[in-house]
Amino acid sequence: MTEIRLKNISTCVTITANTLDVLVNTLNISSLKAISKTTHSLLKMMETIKQDKNNCAELMEHIHQLLNAIVGVYIKSDTGAELPPSVLNQIAKFTETLHKIHVFVEAQQSGSKVNKFFQQGELHALLKDCKAGLQQGLVFFQMRRTTDILVDVQEMQDQAQLRYQELLDLVEIMSSSDSTSSVSNMYSGSYTSYSGKDLTQEVLEHLTSAPPSLLILDNLETPWEPVGSRKEIEEFLSLLTDVASLALLVTMRGAERPAKVQWTQPFLLPLGPLSQEAARKMFIEITDDRHSMEEVDQVLHLTDNMPLSISLLAHLVDMEDCSTILSRWKTEKTSLISEGSDRGSNLELSISLSLSSPRITSMPHSQDLLGLLFILPDGLSDVELKQSKFPIQDILGCKAALLRTALAYTDDHKRLKVLVPVREYMGRCSPPTDLMIRPLLAHFHELLELYVAVLGKESGAFPIARITSNYTNIQNVLQCGLQLDHPDMAKSIYCTCDFNHFSRFYPIPHPKILVTQALNHLKHLAEPALEVRFHNTLAWYYLQQPHGVPEAIEHCQIALHLAQTNGNYKEQCIALVSLSWIEWLGGNYTVARAYAQEAQRLAKLSGDLFQEAIGLYYEHKCQQVLGDYESCILLCTQARTLLGLCGMLHGELNHHLGNSRAGVYLLKSEYTEGHLILSQILQDVLGDQNPYVYGLTLASIAELEVLMGSPTDEIQSKIGTSKAIFERQGHKRVAIFALCYQAALNLREGDMSSLLFRQCLRSGWGNFADIVSYCFERLGDISCWEGSQHPSSWTTVFLAHAIKENQRLEIHKALQFLGDVFLKENDEATAVSLFTVALEGFTQMDVHRSRAQCMIRLGDIAQRNDDFLRALALWETARPLFERSSQVKRVYDIDERLSGIGEEVKEQHRMNLIHLAELNAPAGKVGDVAGDLSDDELEEKHISLAVV
């Protein structure tokens, strides 16, 4: 009986609360806003009440009586919204009592945190105060106490409906605007005059005799929606279309068209939100262009580019400013733009009228579906509507009702969605109940379990599209399921682990809340499989946090031990891959490679192609540092093949493989090939869809373009954008790399300050070995610091670091730079030895630019020792290597060298002839050689002459 009592009174209070909302929004009665908000919150809590239900039901019964009394006072007032002070004072007292009731009812929720604030007996005293306050209100408004809700429920519902109609009449009387009058007429279905005379024939005769005319019927849904008047409206429209000189233009909400009219074809599609450009123009026309476009876009994001919302918010911004409005929106939501008295100036009124339309009330569960969409910004497909098993009869019919009234829409992917303003309104006034959310949690749990089960296999492509279409939906539903004492808490934690694993390759924003909640609840569950999965999840999570490596290692080791104990290959692979990445970051590349290879082995044993691809990727990263570039390309190819089988060629791992492969081309100084790969990734990944990969790719392109000599402003823009993305998302390592590229660009442009490099070096020291190597390499190359007092000791430090980390390419670069140091000190013999050793290593690794640089150095030394032929041979060999590495300026320098050495080669040839003569060579032979060759031929034949 108590449950029935609660259900009945909640139904009655809901009707009355909706009536109160119309009163508040239409007449802008500030004294009732707090009552309205508190009442809706109470209704929500009544759905999950666990204790003292009888007292709660009694309190709600009295609240219902007082709400009706207050609405009645306003309706019957002969002064409109201006009530006597005594009445307003009593309403204020009722508001205070209502707040006390809210605290009491909240304390009756299961696991409520409110209880800890009450000592023994205080909650009972609060209840006593609540009842006394309500009794005082009942006496003031001369209301009788309701003793039997089962008997009076029909009477209460009838009274609520009567109050609602009376309120609509009041709106008509008090408002002088045509728009507000149409609110009253909405339910009358009448297009007759107030005297009762039918004007149909007079209107038709007037239009027939008039010159060609255009008749615009705006908001036609107002008279057309009520079932009782729909037939008459459609017949009237049909008569209008028979007037030859009349063109008829109709606007109405939703996608449904009145019958009995032959509309022009093709049918006009329902109007969607404005384009971003159009929304900006509309906003600026109201506010002027004095606001930053970034803040304007943030405000427009709140509107979903819905014209009414744009207009209302823009006028507020014009009076205040963007930052103030953005701040107010966080707390006020749609009430911020609901101060007007008609649907054209009051967003909430516009929405509430749509919710009250016959097309919605004829499908009662359509409001439940709309409330559910409040937490589902990604929308729902028809498949998800059917498979989620919501407690909604004819759910597709409810969807159709929402579409017909324009409360919802379908996007290009046929997903049912709700615009931001409508979502915010439903979240405040009618959020979804747990009864609606739990079926969706179960559906997402099944979907994520399927993803994990088939991950790495050919069938793994199936759930990916479904999950990616529900990113934010899943996160919001999980936040609901991770509440303390929630019956689906274990299921929610499983989902959190699976979703976090999925997010490593299809990132979701802000997983911290889910991780924290799950960690707090895990200790209450005895789930070994969940425990190992969660430790792996935490390990990866800590890897993304500043200074989180020790915690990541700890959770990796725990997960690995648990997985080995349980014989769980998959979780072992995950732990090993995480350990591989940790060791790679620390510069322990051989150990990291061993972990990656073991992960591949276990993945093969379990047939997990995706985990095997991950293992290949990390082995590739290790081989890259160890200088085996041929193996790197092969490992990349193998990993991409596996991803293709998994259906994940468009996932984040594939983009990382592309970035890493471009990195191999960079190390080999094949910059054009690397730039081509990165440009393709940039086209595939839009900045707002995957900002991390977008930023990473921009930064990698900037690094390449610094080396290729691209325009400074273009590089600067890429570095700035990527750095902002990394800092906003908290990716410390790559944010430091963006600073490294900035320092390299500064150095290229002649800024000889090493301060920025040294700052990056300090940030990376002990955390990121690759950053340390990058900075040491630039600081150790004294050829970049010519004309400055840059210390050559950096070169020695670079060599020591490269040897310690076993970095093959860096070791040979350090030897090359050390050769420059000795050359600067005029120790040519040592310099030649160092350049020669470095050249051999670069040749083995096929690193074009570094090979050419060594050849230039050796050629210059040969020239200084008058060995012009050797210098010429070295420079000519270096030229195509510089071309291969896109070094246009260096190619030009070589051409200058080659043209300048021509005369020197001819002079050397003449000296050889003189030397031959002095050695008493046959005169005829010397003459033949000298006479047969022209100057050009001398240059072409210099190698043969050298042999002679």
At 302 the pLDDT is: 78
Q: How far is the CA of 309 from the CAs of 300, 371, 537, in angstroms?
A: 9, 20, 41
* Residue 503: inside a domain: yes
Same domain, 121 and 157: yes
Report if residue 18 sits inside a domain: yes
Q: Which region among 173-187, 498-512, 796-810 has the lowest average model confidence (pLDDT)?
A: 173-187
Indicate the pLDDT class of residue 284, thresholds 50, 70 and 90: confident
Q: What is the pLDDT of residue 942?
A: 40
For the segment 258-275, the average pLDDT, to the nearest whole number, is 77
CA 334 to centroid of chain Cα atoms: 23
Confidence category of residue 615, pLDDT binned at 50, 70, 90:
very high
The position carrying tokens 């300090």 is 762
Per-residue pLDDT of 722-734, as tens digits, reads 999 888 877 888 8
Assign 248 a pLDDT band (cuts: 50, 70, 90).
Answer: confident
* 202 in Cβ contact with 235 (< 8 Å): no
Q: Give yes or no: residues 25 and 148 share one domain.
A: yes
pLDDT of 657-699, one tens digit each?
Answer: 999 999 999 999 999 999 999 998 888 876 445 788 889 999 9
Q: Which of 52-61, 75-84, 222-231, 780-789 shows the lowest mean pLDDT across its residues? A: 75-84
> 264-273, 346-355, 493-502, 507-516 — which one is most confidently predicted on average?
264-273
Mean local confidence (pLDDT), 50-64: 88
Span 786-807, pLDDT tens digits: 877 788 899 999 999 999 988 8
- Of 64-68, 318-322, 357-361, 744-748, which one has max mean pLDDT? 744-748
pLDDT > 70? residue 513: no
Q: Is the confidence at residue 632, as pLDDT, over 80?
A: yes
On whether residue 806 sits in a domain, the answer given is no
Q: For position 169, what pLDDT does the model report? A: 64
Q: What is the pLDDT of residue 182?
A: 37
- Which structural domain range is residue 399 located in? 350-432
- Domain boundary (405, 432, 459) is at 432
Q: Are residues 543 and 683 in the same domain?
A: no
**Last residue within a domain, chosen from 149, 174, 199:** 174
CA distance 856 to 868: 13
Amino acid, single-letter form, for residue 177? S
Q: Which two tokens stand for residue 571?
A: 């979780």
> Contact at 8 Å (CB) between 90 and 137?
yes
Write down the pLDDT at residue 78: 58
More confident residue, 780 or 323: 780
In angstroms, the CA 730 to CA 726 distance is: 6
Mark whether 557 and 701 lie in a shared domain: no
pLDDT at 931: 46
CA distance 831 to 858: 9
**Same domain flag for 142 and 61:** yes
Confidence of residue 947 (pLDDT cuts 50, 70, 90): very low
Say how many domains are in the chain: 6
**Domain presence at residue 839:** no
Res 941: pLDDT: 40
pLDDT bucket at 49, cuts 50 / 70 / 90: confident
Q: CB of 610 within 8 A of CB of 455?
A: yes
Based on the fold, state whether residues 426 and 441 are members of the same structural domain.
no
* Element at 112 (helix H, strand E): none
**Quick one: 123 and 138 in the same domain?**
yes
49 and 164 share a domain? yes
Reported confidence tier of residue 523, pLDDT bands at 50, 70, 90: low
Higher pLDDT, 786 or 66: 66
Structure tokens at 348: 């909430």
The reply to whether 840 falls in a domain is no
Whether 547 has a pLDDT exceeding 80, the answer reads no
Residue 791 belongs to some domain of the structure: no
CA dihedral 794, 798, 801, 806 (to 10 degrees): -170
Please give the pLDDT value at position 712.
93
Residue 822 within a domain: no
Main-chain dihedrals φ then ψ at residue 247, nearest 5 degrees: -105, 135
Residues 595 and 446 occupy one common structural domain:
no
Cβ pair 486, 389 in contact under 8 A = no
* pLDDT at residue number 831: 94
- If pLDDT is split at 50, 70 and 90, which confidence band does 69 have? confident
| Residue 391 confidence (pLDDT) above 80 | yes
Which has the closest alpha carbon to 740: 770, 708, 780, 782?
770
Categorise residue 35: left if φ over 0, alpha if ψ from -120 to 50, beta otherwise.
alpha
Answer whether residue 510 shows pLDDT above 70. no
Residue 114 has pLDDT above 60, yes or no: no
**pLDDT per position as a tens digit, 564-578:** 988 887 889 989 999
The last residue of a domain, from among 492, 525, 558? 525
Q: How confident is the model at residue 933 (pLDDT cuts 50, 70, 90)?
A: very low
Question: What does the pLDDT average to over 273-291?
Answer: 84
Interhelix angle 828-845/848-864, nearest 10 degrees: 150
403-413: average pLDDT? 80
- Residue 187 pLDDT exceeds 60: no
Is pLDDT of 327 > 90?
A: no
> Binning pLDDT at 50, 70 and 90, where does residue 79 land?
low
* Alpha-carbon torsion (413, 415, 418, 420), positive or negative: negative
Query: Which two tokens mark 530?
Result: 């969940």
| 531 & 520 share domain | no
Q: Has this prediction a pTM greater than 0.95?
A: no
The pLDDT tens digits for 337-389 are: 555 444 444 566 667 767 777 778 888 888 889 888 888 888 998 888 888 88
Sign of CA dihedral 665, 671, 676, 682: positive
- Cβ proximity of 315 and 344 under 8 Å: no
Which residues are paired to 246 by β-bridges?
213
Most confident of 140-144, 323-327, 431-435, 613-617: 613-617
What value does the mean pLDDT take over residues 597-609?
77
Domain shared by 323 and 408, yes or no: no
Q: Any idea what the CATH number is for the domain that residue 611 is in?
A: 1.25.40.10
Give the pLDDT mean for 475-504: 70
pLDDT at 700 over 90: yes
Average pLDDT over residues 134-140: 89
Residue 440 has what pLDDT? 86
With a pLDDT cut of 90, the percent of the chain lying above it is 21
Give phi and psi for 927, each to the nearest 5: -65, -40
- pLDDT at 83 (0 to 100): 63
Beta carbons within 8 Å of 620's beta carbon, 6+ residues apart: 631, 632, 635, 636, 639, 657, 660
Contacts of residue 616, Cβ cutoff 8 Å, sequence gap at least 6: 596, 600, 635, 636, 638, 639, 642
Does 492 share its domain with 576? no
Q: What is the mean pLDDT of the chain?
A: 78
Amino acid letter at 4? I
455 occurs within a structural domain: yes
Provide the pLDDT for residue 688: 47
